[in-house]
Chains A and B, each alone.
Chain A
Amino acid sequence: MARITASVYTSHVPAIGAAIDHGKTGEPYWQPVFRGYEFSKQWMKQNRPDLVFLVYNDHATAFSLELIPTFAIGTAAAFTPADEGYGARPVPTVIGHPELASHIAQSVIQDDFDLTIVNRMDVDHGLTVPLSLMCGQPEAWPCPVIPFAVNVVQYPPPSGRRCFMLGQAIRRAVESYDEPLRVQIWGTGGMSHQLQGPRAGLINKAFDNAFLDRLIADPEGLSKMPHIDYVREAGSEGIELVMWLIARGAMADVNGGARPTVRHRFYHVPASNTAVGHLILENNG
């Protein structure tokens, strides 16, 4: 039986990817950001999963306004890093897991979540920056990845509540898969940031740290926070944080099991326009 071993949460700021790709990680501006992920890279090597289920959002890359799926699961054998206008990132092709992805799609749809199934999709920085932060610059990513894209570009994105319950459904789907795979689920995006308008540059450290506290201790209560609180307090793009609740909903403690261990917590301002937040939670059952 497959099982979820841990969840990882991280921002996916594109400038972080550019700093890695252009060898700038040692610059004074970037050093504090990458120091926060040193532990995580070691942890990833010591706890290498068989598969990562990676929740992220597409940034007008694979999905234009022609098609705006709220939840899209990548069931392809491979996904190419996208050219977002600056040329494609020099990172490995993302190898998928069509068998488990299809299994999850069927299970979760029967569990009342209407996923869009995607068999061809390029993946942008939302997916590849978290992989770079957690895995460094390998020749190949350490394991297959199932991309799971959430619409947070056109308002409204799914509610936090819906995301949390979807995470619970994903857990049930993973646990009903026969092969004994160790699966990590990652929730990415955030934390507070606003990229548009005269209020661009908004950062709210108090909100972000309270969000991290509640994500650990009271995720179910946190999932009831309405959209307007994210937008007003964490910025128009801070609403990406609803995606973290998908990963949190898949953990044992909110499905009748034991509380997770907080293995790592990190917060830093800024990376470009954004507050960087990062957590690693290990399941204990």
Chain B
Amino acid sequence: MALHKPYLDIPGTTIFDAEQSRKGYHLNQFCMSLMKAENRARFKANERAYLDEWAMTEEQKQAVLARDLNWCMRLGGNIYFLAKIGATDGKSFQQMAGSMTGMSEQEYRDMMINGGRSIEGNRYVGETK
């Protein structure tokens, strides 16, 4: 019997469950390696060569090279792990979160200062405000 996943109808959200974790294991462990300064330096010197040291899929490597965090998440990435790529690039968590929304950095920052994204219209896929 399939596991009950009541969270699949939440819009714009990927829940990092056991299935995503299994898919993203090597991608996330690559991210974890960027906690060490020497690994950050090696990655920055030659990203492709560094990625090729990991048992990631080609698509996962492409998603990292493109710095497309939504794509990384679909392939099993978790934001707390992916944040290590952002830290390596010198990006703040807000810049990383904002990059997934289709908004500019300034628009996202302004939205947060004005109280954040409203829950109204954002509970269920297909819901209208």
Residues of A within 8 A of B (CB): 14-15, 29, 59-61, 64-66, 83-86, 153-156, 192, 194-207, 227-228, 231-233, 235-237, 269-270, 272-273, 275
Contacts and interface: CB of A to CB of B under 8 A. Distances in A.
A262 to B, nearest CB: 25
B81 A60 contact: yes
A276 B116 CA distance: 12
B50 interface: no
B119 A200 contact: no
Given A85-B84, A202-B119, A237-B79, 13 more contacts: A60-B32, A65-B81, A155-B15, A194-B117, A196-B79, A197-B13, A197-B70, A199-B13, A203-B116, A206-B119, A272-B94, A273-B93, A275-B116
Nearest to A207: B119
Contact of B17 (A155, A232, A233): A155
B12 to A, nearest CB: 3
Contact of A198 (B6, B102, B111, B123): B102
A120 to B, nearest CB: 16
A65 B17 contact: no
A197 B7 contact: no
Q: Which of B113, B116, B119 is packed against the most chain A CB atoms within 10 Å?
A: B116
Contacts of A194: 13, 97, 117
B13 A201 contact: no
Q: Which of A64, A201, A236 is packed against the most chain B CB atoms within 10 Å?
A: A201
Interface of B is mostly: helix
B112 interface: yes
Interface in B1-26: 6-7, 10-18, 21, 25
A83 B84 CA distance: 11
B20 to A, nearest CB: 8
A272 B112 contact: yes
Interface residues of B, number: 52
B10 A231 contact: yes
A128 B32 CA distance: 20
A201 B17 CA distance: 21
Interface string B53-93: 00000000000000001100100001111011001100011
A116 B124 CA distance: 36
Given A84-B35, A85-B35, A273-B94, A199 B87 contact: no
Interface of B: 6-7, 10-18, 21, 25, 28-29, 31-32, 34-35, 40, 69-70, 73, 78-81, 83-84, 87-88, 92-94, 96-98, 100-102, 108, 111-113, 115-119, 122-124
A270 B116 contact: yes
27 contacts: A60-B78, A60-B83, A84-B35, A85-B34, A85-B35, A85-B83, A85-B84, A86-B87, A153-B78, A156-B17, A197-B14, A197-B73, A198-B101, A198-B102, A199-B11, A199-B12, A199-B101, A201-B98, A201-B101, A202-B119, A205-B115, A207-B119, A231-B7, A236-B13, A272-B112, A273-B112, A275-B116
A270 B113 CA distance: 6
B67 to A, nearest CB: 14
A65 B108 contact: no
A155 B16 contact: yes
B28 A202 contact: no
